[in-house]
Amino acid sequence: MSRRASGLKAWVLQRATAVYLALFATYLIFKFGFAVPTDYTALVDWASTSWVALGLLVFIPVTLSHAWVGFRDLFMDYVKNVSLRIIVLTITAFAFVASGLWAVQAIIVAQIA
């Protein structure tokens, strides 16, 4: 794949993930705006239903992919030193992977409980 196609791929990924994020955020706004869970167990019960758990499990990589494209483009545009850019991108990637694993673990624990 050429470098131009790589930029197009990132652009399409950014737009596709934004659509999912907007739809899921709209659902969450309506859910918590009109039917707020009364306590922690109600929230866990809601999060452990199959469709919500699946939506949250999809939400995690979609959010991280969306953020990765944005941060990568930001660092490529504004961090001119290549070595520093690689270091910053590596730290960001590790932080995103750790955040993603933590979030998946939280959803799985809620599903089990």
The pair of structure tokens assigned to 37 is: 């869970």
Q: Give the C-alpha separation, 3 to 8, whole Å.
A: 9
Judged against a pLDDT cut of 90, whether residue 65 lies above it is answered with yes
Across 27-49, average pLDDT? 90
- Predicted structure pTM score: 0.81
Distances (CA, A) of 51 to 4, 8, 15, 19, 40: 38, 32, 24, 18, 19
Residue (of 42, 107, 38) closest to 99 by Cα position: 107
pLDDT at 74 over 70: yes
CATH level 2 (architecture), domain 3-112? Up-down Bundle (1.20)
Over residues 36-60, mean pLDDT: 88
Q: Which residues contact 42 (CB under 8 A, 6 or more apart)?
A: none
How sure is the predictor about 2, in pLDDT bands with cuts at 50, 70 and 90? low
